[in-house]
Structure 1
Amino acid sequence: MSTIDGLPPLREVIARHELRAKKQLGQNFLLDLNLTAKIARQAGDLSQTDVLEIGPGPGGLTRGLLAEGARHVLAIEKDGRALPALAEIAEAYPGRLTVLHGDALEIDPLVHLTPPIRIAANLPYNVGTELLIRWLTPKDWPPFWQSLTLMFQKEVAERIVAKPGGKAYGRLALLAQWRAEAKIVMALPPEAFVPAPKVHSAVVSLTALPQPRYPADPAVLSRVTAAAFNQRRKMLRASLRGLHPDIEAVLEAAGIPPTARAEEIDLERFCTLARLLAEAPRG
């Protein structure tokens, strides 16, 4: 099996370092270096960019990112068993790979990165959505990252890019599409991974917009969408009644039928509703 660099094939690396994937860590290793290089290319020109990678495991995507010319890669890995394999990659790419051992939910990566910054990762299934939400909801916008190139379960990927009218459409779609351009750029079958998961996977590309598509207070928009989609079977006049004493009038002012349900309402009207609620006197 050919490799994209002078390092051994990943199956050999995994066998030598006894890196059997752990279900409790959400691990599924992608072993085809041609595929990892293809994912790295989806992140764009990396030659003048630092890249943050979460959960590199044995380093397949790490090698892809470095082979594609990433200026510097910061890889955060929770599983100490993978550190020797990642150290071999760092040795092969002197000064271009930094590996931090720890939990990505607890580490501030910015002290180790120089802008411009992109994020690319085959995210562990058990923390993927939480990390995405954190990256999409910083205190200030634009965020520290230019783009996200992330692998998820296909079902999660479809929720990120969903449009109004379907079951996949919900808070995650609104959150992603409010501040970013989101699209699915690759699909991968279970057999591409070791061990093979029970679900298909997909790579999502999110490019940060300079400013949100429509003006709205993030906290108000979050409350509105939470109330709407937590009771998505209800009409909005019922699910949102706790937000304003005359919610029907506010809905109508936003161009939303009070009898509509959350999945029928597009991002622009949710943002309009959030602005009106922020401005409306409460009784």
Structure 2
Amino acid sequence: MAASRKVSSFRLPPLPTVSELIKLYNLRAEKQLSQNFLLDLRLTDKIVRQAGSLKDAHVCEVGPGPGGLTRSILTAGAADVLVVEKDSRFIPGLKLLSEAAPGRLRIVHGDILTYRMDQGFPANISKPWEEDPPDLHIIGNLPFSVSTPLIIQWLENVANRTGPFTYGRAPLTLTFQKEVAERLTASTGSKQRSRLSIMAQYLCTVHNRFTIPGRAFVPKPEVDVEVVHFTPLVQPQIQQPFKLVEKVVRNIFQFRRKHCHKGVEKLFPEARRAELTWEMMQKADVDPILRPTELTIPQFRALTDAYAHLCAHEPGLFTYEFREELRLKHLGKNKSAAADGFMDPLSVTAQSVPQPY
């Protein structure tokens, strides 16, 4: 674990360019890992500037790859940079950078989804949640395949003040494919509004900073990329456990084109569905014929508070899952059909398939 230190000079000694490192180590982006290299240091510098001042700061960079963004972070004056890289092919190039910035760059060969970031930095950088954010920044040009599960994991960490947020309200500056970024920042009523919008915005201020055209990456992805900045809120806009909020929002958005009461209905077992749906909508005082995209965060707060109230009186409600009930019902139907020598070809539609964010 690195101790806090001051950086007197931000200039790195002469190094091979990122393009030269790629050739030197015979690196190429792996399509199955959704890797795309950003080689233009003017763009990596611009990403880093969105994080604010990094002078003498602690930084965790996610998936540094060949190290283009890492160079910009070091040049910006960060005193302690922890990079977490899963792909062993990039470790030799990162070690070159570490040698060029002695004592400032630490390399973890591991998976950011399982890495214990709460143990990665000195405890003395922590700030009380109610105060300004700590001098710790999370920055990353994320592979498309990991970006959504990772931000959901971090949002849960924000809600529980765990992981990197044990140090306080650490800000995040991350890249996402344009479609995901638009969902993260979508306002009430927009066609991009989704459960990802609600989950991000009830916990953080979320801003879309700028667009990086796909042609800036090697290889060129089929979509443009957006840089998004998050700062955890002192008080989340919904004061309920993350899992409860996620369940309510997920159920409502599974019928995004229908009236919101359709999703609320699926929170409850069939035998009491109509009764409990009516009670929840009445208690929340939300118009049941609003579409999910039209609901504001205060309305989601009212709905989650009403659902929490019902669960407190009937604890078994929270463990109920409509899709699991549907799956078991069709499983029983298929067993009966198999016993009669007939299998319903449409039964596959009843499988429990996670809904996309």
Q: TM-score range by the shorter chain?
A: over 0.9
| Partner residue in 1 for 2:183 | 159
How many residue pairs match? The answer is 280
Q: Is the 8 A contact 2:61 2:83 kept in 1?
A: yes
Deviations, residues 186-221 of structure 1 (Å, cap 9, x unaligned): 100011100110100010000111120243332321
2:219, 2:150 → 1: CA distance?
23
| Partner residue in 1 for 2:306 | 276
| DSSP-derived class of the 1:45 partner | coil
Deviations, residues 155-186 of structure 1 (Å, cap 9, x unaligned): 11111000121231111111111111101111
2:198, 2:208 → 1: CA distance?
16
Out of 104, 111, 114, the residue aligned to residue 112 of structure 2 is 104
Q: Does 1:140 align with 2:160?
A: yes
2:285, 2:308 → 1: CA distance?
16
TM-superposed deviation, 1:8: 2.4
Q: Which runs of 5+ in 2 are unaligned?
A: 1-10, 126-133, 269-274, 318-357
Q: Is the 8 A contact 2:38 2:216 kept in 1?
A: yes
Q: Which runs of 5+ in 1 are unaligned?
A: none
1:131, 1:218 → 2: CA distance?
15
Q: Is the 8 A contact 2:204 2:230 kept in 1?
A: yes
Q: Is the 8 A contact 2:252 2:262 kept in 1?
A: no
Deviations, residues 42-97 of structure 1 (Å, cap 9, x unaligned): 11122243111111010000111111011211111111111111001101111111
Q: Is the 8 A contact 1:252 1:258 kept in 2?
A: no
Q: Which has the larger radius of gyration?
A: 2
Relative contact order, CA 8 A, sep 6+: which one is greater?
1
TM-superposed deviation, 1:233: 2.3
Return the TM-score normalized by structure 2. Answer: 0.74
2:93, 2:285 → 1: CA distance?
56
Cα RMSD after superposing both structures: 1.8
**Cα distance change of structure 1 residues 70 and 156 upon mapping to structure 2, 3 Å threshold:** same
Q: Is the 8 A contact 2:238 2:301 kept in 1?
A: yes
Q: How does 1:231-250 map to 2 (within 5 A)?
A: 231-243=255-267, 245-250=275-280
1:216, 1:39 → 2: CA distance?
33
Out of 218, 224, 227, the residue aligned to residue 203 of structure 1 is 227
1:261, 1:133 → 2: CA distance?
23
Runs of 4+ in 1 over 6 A off after TM superposition: none
| DSSP-derived class of the 1:167 partner | coil
Amino acid in the other structure paired with 1:140: N
Return the TM-score normalized by structure 1. Answer: 0.93
Identity level (%): 40
Amino acid in the other structure paired with 1:274: T
Q: How does 1:67-216 map to 2 (within 5 A)?
A: 67-114=75-122, 115=125, 116=134, 117-138=136-157, 140-141=160-161, 143-144=165-166, 145-216=169-240
Structure with greater strand percent: 1
| DSSP-derived class of the 2:54 partner | coil
Amino acid in the other structure paired with 2:214: P
1:239, 1:72 → 2: CA distance?
46
2:230, 2:145 → 1: CA distance?
20
| Partner residue in 1 for 2:291 | 261
Amino acid in the other structure paired with 1:278: A
1:224, 1:119 → 2: CA distance?
29
